Chains A and B, each alone.
Chain A
């Protein structure tokens, strides 16, 4: 089954066509990179798939279910999780509390209002487990805004993983990272279990070619090439777009 299937997906902002008839099929367990120059409509495509935007036309299926008009929180329930291009965390919460929100998502524990959250042993243990797994236990009391940029990018991914997704959308996970941090991020992503379908938007070609098994190239909102890293590397259109 396809984790993501879109049919002739389009989205217009006034006169601007941000997404132009995109038909994608991403199989479960796939490692897919979406590349393309600035303004190619990569983030818009992510917003359409995750439900932050609704399409002007076309359809979206997640795991075989038509979610074209489904609100975000219900799509997340199907196992989708995403990160943001611009770090979008909880600046005034501690690292522990931020991860705990992800764990709440996993347990659907948003509503209970009569019992202290600290008394939910299971959620406390899961949060602790996540922090230890990612070697962040010592930093649990630090406010997110006081973490380094590289750590924040990492937490961005970890919070998304705390919901134990089946489908992970990563929006430029390595943007702004140093080469050492990029290498660490790449190893984290490559280490993720194979049953998680990963789709990432990437500007850094080396990162895209290293992680992805399939690459989709967007240009002016439309898919212009699709294939393995080797095929994409050898594609003259892609070279033309990227090198002018």
Chain B
């Protein structure tokens, strides 16, 4: 038994890669240029976004195509706060999560009644309504030009977030806290209820579960968690515009999820890493980076239909 356990630990690819990876994460800002530190921040933020979407798609079986709505609403909220002179990051995150939750609570009432492809289209349509508002309401949102001039927020403690390395470490802290909260959520009775709903709604009904209510709560949770990513993104980017609410972002989130593997804790983060790197690094060599992404997709879906992360789990 003991040797079995020992060999499993040694063979575990996560641990084998873990120590060098930990060093890379800790000392990244002193090893590479700020450009790559920025990429790492983008990966972490998108990982939060894709993981929050995973609660709906991977755990509850609700394929949402409008997840950017909550990202964008929280992003605009952070932008307005900053421009109004309130630069505290925690305040922005609380407000962003709150608005994400409220938006999801309203959209959920309309969307949860639909199933499968209908749900997909309704969530898309609802998010596009917000996109259109941000696009047209120039006096408030700056329309297509967005809201520029958003600086880095403050967190007190004498830490200056204007330096990318500092923002990088902060993003890691928030990401890890988020991941911890997410893993508690999915391992709770509530998370188990959601998996049951994903597997068979009618059976859950026959067990006396109010399926609509728990789908609705999952929808609100997911919207609220996506808000964290929206706030961080806008604070990092210094800019918020309608594309933060748009269909491209929603699709990117879904693609990250599919690539990494839905229904697993680390899959979407892995997918976020791969896509952000591809988008930024391959695009340095060729304009046709999305062609590359397309080919990777085909390979992944043919070889590992449950996502790349499922292979790492099986290899253990």
List A residues at the B interface (Cβ < 8 Å): 50, 52, 71-73, 76-77, 81-84, 88-93, 97, 100-102, 104-105, 108-118, 120, 123, 159-160, 163
Known A90-B196, A104-B192, A112-B188: A73·B202 in contact at CB below 8 Å: no
B206 at the A interface (CB under 8 A):
yes
Known A73-B210, A90-B196: A111·B190 in contact at CB below 8 Å: yes
B283 at the A interface (CB under 8 A):
no
Bound Cα distance from A101 to B190, whole angstroms = 11
Residue of B nearest to A120 (CB): B189
- Give chain A residues whose Cβ lies under 8 Å from the Cβ of B211: 73
Bound Cα distance from A88 to B196, whole angstroms = 11
Bound Cα distance from A113 to B224, whole angstroms = 15
Q: Let me know if B208 and A105 touch, CB within 8 A.
A: yes
Q: Is the interface of B mostly helix, strand, loop or mixed?
A: helix
- Give chain B residues whose Cβ lies under 8 Å from the Cβ of A97: 192, 195
Bound Cα distance from A102 to B192, whole angstroms = 11
B193 at the A interface (CB under 8 A):
yes
List B residues at the A interface (Cβ < 8 Å): 184-185, 187-193, 195-196, 199-200, 202-211, 214, 217, 221
Bound Cα distance from A108 to B213, whole angstroms = 14
B185, B199, B210 — which one has the most chain A CB atoms within 10 A of its CB? B199
Q: Which listed residue (A52, A101, A115, A123) contacts B207, Cβ 8 A?
A: A101
Q: Let me know if A117 and B189 touch, CB within 8 A.
A: yes
A90, A100, A101 — which one has the most chain B CB atoms within 10 A of its CB? A101
Q: How far in angstroms is the closest Cβ of chain B from A99?
A: 11
Residue pairs across A and B with Cβ atoms less than 8 A apart, 13 shown, are A52-B206, A84-B206, A89-B200, A90-B195, A90-B196, A93-B199, A100-B192, A101-B204, A104-B192, A110-B210, A110-B214, A111-B214, A114-B188
Known A89-B203, A93-B196: A117·B187 in contact at CB below 8 Å: yes
Residue of A nearest to B192 (CB): A117
Q: How far in angstroms is the closest Cβ of chain B from A111?
A: 6
- Give chain B residues whose Cβ lies under 8 Å from the Cβ of A163: 207-208
Q: Let me know if A88 and B202 touch, CB within 8 A.
A: yes
Q: How far in angstroms is the closest Cβ of chain B from A110?
A: 5
Bound Cα distance from A110 to B217, whole angstroms = 11
Q: How far in angstroms is the closest Cβ of chain A from B187?
A: 5
Q: Let me know if A110 and B184 touch, CB within 8 A.
A: no
- Give chain B residues whose Cβ lies under 8 Å from the Cβ of A111: 189-190, 193, 214, 217
- Give chain B residues whose Cβ lies under 8 Å from the Cβ of A116: 184, 187-188
Residue of A nearest to B217 (CB): A111
Known A90-B196, A97-B192: A114·B184 in contact at CB below 8 Å: yes
Q: How far in angstroms is the closest Cβ of chain B from A48?
A: 14
B190, B195, B202 — which one has the most chain A CB atoms within 10 A of its CB? B190
